[in-house]
Amino acid sequence: MRRNLVAGNWKMNGARAFAATLCADIAAGLSPRATVGDTDSSTPAAANSAADSAVDAIADSAADSTTAAPVAEIVICPPHVLIAGVVDALAGSAIQVGAQDVDAADDGAFTGQTSARMLADAGCGYVIVGHSERRALYAESDELAARKAVAALAFGLRPILCVGETRAQREAGDTEAVLGRQVDALLAALDGVDAKAQATRTEIVIAYEPVWAIGTGLTATPAQAQDAHHFIRARLAAFDARLADCRIVYGGSMKPGNAAGLLAQPDIDGGLIGGASLNAADFLAICKAATVAAAAGAVTGDAAGAVAGAAKNAGAGATTASTAAPATAA
Ligand code: PEP
């Protein structure tokens, strides 16, 4: 079963006081544990209600394997200089910390860079690689992003590899060619890694982030996003069937008002959140939507929720956009 993931990318925003307040507000919003398994989730309404109380259980990620329905995993990715403070601020919660970038090298003469070893040592569990801003502003290639992902895996970090097309590429009908090229670079890099990294490669998270939707207020429709996610999953599975279990999250102006429709799609396993992650209420609302979607996925016998949930919970990725849950995003 793929567990929904909500990761907040603060980008180059915040300072220590801001970070401490935001972390405290988010942790407080994900207060003491409750488990979905303690509640009735046999109908969609009950599942929603279960998810309402179960949003608290996000704080208890360690217990997820004992619950009857999945809860979302939450990660905060602050700027590097704030990582230590955020790790301290979130100590005792189950919210994890990630970084926004990493060097592909283990260590050495790379002034200004930070290695995966250092990030793991600092308390990170995740790292974003290949974000479109790094590709566009710092000329990062598909190959470099892929090498960073592999470096992260080697030190026990889960990489969140961002892929996505520009508006021009979409309008030219090149979306799948671009996504295929970006995913293939990862697969080629994985081919060369040692057995230990091979064993952990289902820990890789792919973030489908259409460049035209990042920070613009434009959002892919649920159907557009589902199509892209389905394509990516099929590409991964064609390389190695086990990679169909990788989580694929959507990023690009995900907000409280559109999260539910996106997260209802069978191949969408969460969100990478930029602007909305800087506001505790908005971020918490998206976390809740991810838990509601996860709980709905555990419901059997209901059309939309069950279709989405069955495909997701089977890890199949075989449901096409035409059979996906209806698009309901705001
Ligand atoms: C991002 O930066 O990864 C992102 C998705 O930003 P936003 O949510 O602001 O579009």
Note the pLDDT tens digit of each residue in 178-199.
999 999 999 999 987 776 666 7
Q: Which residues pair with 260 in a beta bridge?
A: none
* pLDDT-based confidence at residue 249 (cuts at 50, 70, 90): very high
Query: Looking at per-residue confidence, does 59 or 174 come out higher?
Result: 174
Question: Does some domain include residue 242?
Answer: yes
Name the residue at shortest CA distance from atom 2 of ligand 1. Answer: 274
Residue 252 in tokens: 């690009």
**115 Cβ contact list (under 8 Å, min separation 6):** 102, 103, 105, 106, 107, 151, 155
Query: Measured from the CA of 207, which atom of ligand 1 is nearest?
Result: 3
- Cα separation, 323 vs 315, in Å, equals 16
Query: Measured from the CA of 128, which atom of ligand 1 is nearest?
Result: 3
**182 Cβ contact list (under 8 Å, min separation 6):** 130, 142, 145, 161, 163, 164
Query: Measured from the CA of 276, which atom of ligand 1 is nearest?
Result: 8
- Cα separation, 175 vs 166, in Å, equals 8
Q: Which domain holds residue 121?
A: 5-32+45-50+69-321
Question: Does some domain include residue 86?
Answer: yes
Q: Which residues pair with 126 in a beta bridge?
A: 98, 158
Question: Does some domain include residue 55?
Answer: no
- Rounded to 5°, the CA angle 182-184-187 comes to 120
Question: Does some domain include residue 327?
Answer: no
Cα 215 to ligand 1 centroid, rounded to whole Å: 5
- Cα separation, 89 vs 127, in Å, equals 19
| Residue 320 and residue 259 in contact, taking contact as beta carbons nearer than 8 Å | no
| Residue 201 and residue 159 in contact, taking contact as beta carbons nearer than 8 Å | no
Averaged over 149-177, what is the pLDDT? 97
pLDDT reading at 10 higher than 70: yes
Choose the residue to mutate in 6, 11, 131, 278 for probing ligand 1, maximizing ligand atoms within 8 Å of C-beta.
Answer: 11
pLDDT of residue 69: 45
Name the residue at shortest CA distance from atom 6 of ligand 1. Answer: 274
Q: What percent of the chain is predicted at pLDDT more than 70?
A: 77
pLDDT reading at 3 higher than 70: yes
Averaged over 256-266, what is the pLDDT? 97
- Rounded to 5°, the CA angle 38-39-41 comes to 130
Using one digit for the tens of pLDDT, what is the confidence trace for 307-325? 344 345 443 333 332 222 2
Q: How many domains does the chain have?
A: 1
Q: Is 131 annotated in the active site? A: yes
Q: Is 209 annotated in the active site? A: yes
Question: Does some domain include residue 77?
Answer: yes
Question: Does some domain include residue 239?
Answer: yes
Cα 133 to ligand 1 centroid, rounded to whole Å: 10
In short, whether 251's Cβ falls inside 6 Å of ligand 1 is yes
Choose the residue to mutate in 76, 206, 272 for probing ligand 1, maximizing ligand atoms within 8 Å of C-beta.
Answer: 272
pLDDT of residue 126: 98
Question: Does some domain include residue 326?
Answer: no
| Residue 176 and residue 231 in contact, taking contact as beta carbons nearer than 8 Å | yes
Question: Does some domain include residue 57?
Answer: no
**14 Cβ contact list (under 8 Å, min separation 6):** 22, 78, 79, 82, 278
Q: Which one of 73, 131, 133, 203 is the catalytic residue? A: 131
- Cα separation, 45 vs 36, in Å, equals 13
Residue 93 in tokens: 């919660």
What mean pLDDT, rounded, does the chain reach? 83
What CATH number does residue 306 fall under? 3.20.20.70
